[in-house]
A and B are shown apart, each in its own frame.
Chain A
């Protein structure tokens, strides 16, 4: 903690005590004495994460600033903010405002900004006004402060205007000149790699086809529902999948993770290759992950949800393609290569030989030990992969809890017709199904 001078007011004394307390709990804390009073900045450094910052002044005005991980879902983001608000809120009016704001989260359309302008975080003067007291005159603003005359004292912007020029949030440079306005970051946003066109949260979808995160943090999409607690369980599992898959927050890959490992395996293969856009489809869409989790909970109420979420094997998934002539040997080739890379085979199912099923291909479940995450590897011929793509729309109809019985029956019939056209590769019975003991 650095303190530039001895405190000169009761508010400054209090701020010194706050600084000492924050230092004691591990934040790097600085106090700044300016003509307008004393301000505090404190930073919590977390290895591998963005810093968390606290800014406070003598009036009790406080900012808590942090970065939400892009690996987390909107539900986690909302839940974190809701917990912070719960910790902060002693005023029912603030709780109501937070609830109104979060009602807009799932269907963000720009109107939230307009509402937020009217809501604005209550500053110290608002608090005094609510109590029927006159504003604190003990620390009058300097008459020669050019910033104070330009803004309303109860505006959040005014708080920023009054920060010392060397303060990171001050709109002024050290020499007193105004900094350029911050860029509109929404113009810089790029779609995440997993935000494919079939994402249920896509902006082009009608409102009733969008996954919803409710103000209480619960999640819902069509008839699939998760409570806040279960949504958070899913978020944690999705986070583990992201971590295991290997891309960083910018969508780039290094050496670590499953996708780079699969690319290394692909290079070793004599004939097979990964499908096009492997990186795009490696991660299951978070809302589809939640939908699957919600269905498992509903269908198997005898199992603990935290156990069920660990059985979802396709949060991370890959598909290899082999021409018909090399397919049977290729399935075993790619299996051997994945095992040699250190992953454990839990299950392999040869659906080609199961005449009771529609689907054709070989699917397998593997486990990545360091994160304890299951992942799926499918092996297809060009024809069976094409059939899977062609029948995907019908698959979605069959998987939707809101489809009618007639729609489901029609979708099943169309899927059968498409897969019936697929040639069966030679020696297909050489591929043995397998399941790890106890799995």
Chain B
């Protein structure tokens, strides 16, 4: 059974309510796949979650969010990025 945990990616200088990226960790049995949302709204491989789990890097933070919050964030990104072109 596939399940996903979503993470808002919050860079330094960014408000937690205004993240600049979205990542997800999909677990399917023993398999774990980490992905982040691209500007074309596709999902691509990422090491952001692994880096955050390790805890050494001070470039960005991740915050666990629900699937509903992730959906809202994708809508916000879609609107913002289509406006920016």
Contact = CB atoms under 8 A, between A and B. Distances in A.
A181 to B, nearest CB: 50
A204 interface: no
Interface in B30-54: 30-34, 36-39, 44-48, 50-51, 53-54
Contacts of A351: 55-56
A308 interface: yes
Contacts of B85: none
A405 B27 CA distance: 10
A400 B47 contact: yes
Given A298-B38, A299-B23, A363 B50 contact: no
Interface in A139-184: none
A295 B48 contact: yes
B53 A412 contact: yes
Interface string A370-406: 0000001000000000000000000100111100011
A392 B55 CA distance: 14
B1 interface: no
B55 A359 contact: yes
A380 to B, nearest CB: 11
Contacts of B44: 298
B60 interface: yes
Interface in A300-335: 300-303, 308, 311-313
B67 interface: no
Contacts of B56: 351, 359, 361, 363
A169 to B, nearest CB: 48
Contacts of A376: 58
A298 B32 contact: no
Contacts of B55: 351, 354, 356-359
Interface residues of B, number: 34
Nearest to B45: A401
A29 interface: no
A271 interface: no
B81 A301 contact: yes
Contacts of A347: 12, 58
Contacts of A346: 12
B36 A298 contact: yes
Assign chain A's interface to a size class. 35 or more
A67 interface: no
B37 A301 contact: yes
A408 interface: yes
Nearest to B28: A405
Nearest to A308: B11
B20 interface: yes
Interface string A56-72: 00000000000000000
A271 to B, nearest CB: 24
Nearest to B41: A301
Given A295-B47, A399-B47, A300 B54 contact: no
A398 B39 contact: no
A132 interface: no
A110 interface: no
B12 to A, nearest CB: 5
A298 B56 CA distance: 20
A299 B58 contact: no
A223 interface: yes
Contacts of B80: 302
Contacts of B82: none
A306 to B, nearest CB: 13
Contacts of B23: 299
A48 interface: no
B11 A303 contact: yes
Given A346-B12, A347-B12, A439-B13, 7 more contacts: A295-B48, A300-B9, A302-B19, A308-B11, A354-B55, A406-B30, A408-B50
Interface of A: 223, 292, 295-296, 298-303, 308, 311-313, 346-347, 349, 351, 354, 356-359, 361, 363-365, 376, 395, 398-401, 405-406, 408-409, 412, 415, 438-439
8 contacts: A296-B59, A300-B60, A302-B20, A302-B77, A311-B11, A313-B58, A363-B58, A439-B12
